[in-house]
Amino acid sequence: MAERRFDFDDVDRSDAEAIGEPGQRTFRMIFGAASDTVVLWLEKQQLQALGMAFEQMIAQLRAAGVAAARVSEVEPDPVGPTPVVNAEFHVGRLAVGFDEERSRITLFVH
């Protein structure tokens, strides 16, 4: 299988959704930048771990004085319907990191 790679410099859309009835739900994250959109299908535990990883990363960056001016505690605006999706992936592994050179939190998905 050929490897497909999507690099977004700045994500302008990030949504998490639970689809279906409790006990039989599937979970997805939608990420997009401009006209490029990808859907990541995750297990419930992966989505929970991703949320905790982002919270921990932001807390560490704030404590280090890196993110104080860039991260705010605001509710996102509604983003409307899901745009045309370029690709969908079932997630195996996730990693969260920080790119110091660009001052960006980075999500790696395999």
Is the CB of residue 28 less than 8 Å from the CB of residue 13? no
In this predicted structure, the answer to whether residue 100 has a pLDDT above a threshold of 90 is no
CA–CA separation, 38 vs 87, rounded Å? 5
In this predicted structure, the answer to whether residue 37 has a pLDDT above a threshold of 70 is yes
CA dihedral 98, 10, 110, 39 (to 10 degrees): 140
* pTM exceeding the 0.75 threshold for the entire prediction: no
In a 3-state reduction of DSSP, which class is residue 63? helix
Place of tokens 């939190």: 105
Residue with more model confidence, 41 or 105: 41
In this predicted structure, the answer to whether residue 76 has a pLDDT above a threshold of 60 is no
pLDDT of 42 reads: 93
pLDDT of 46 reads: 92
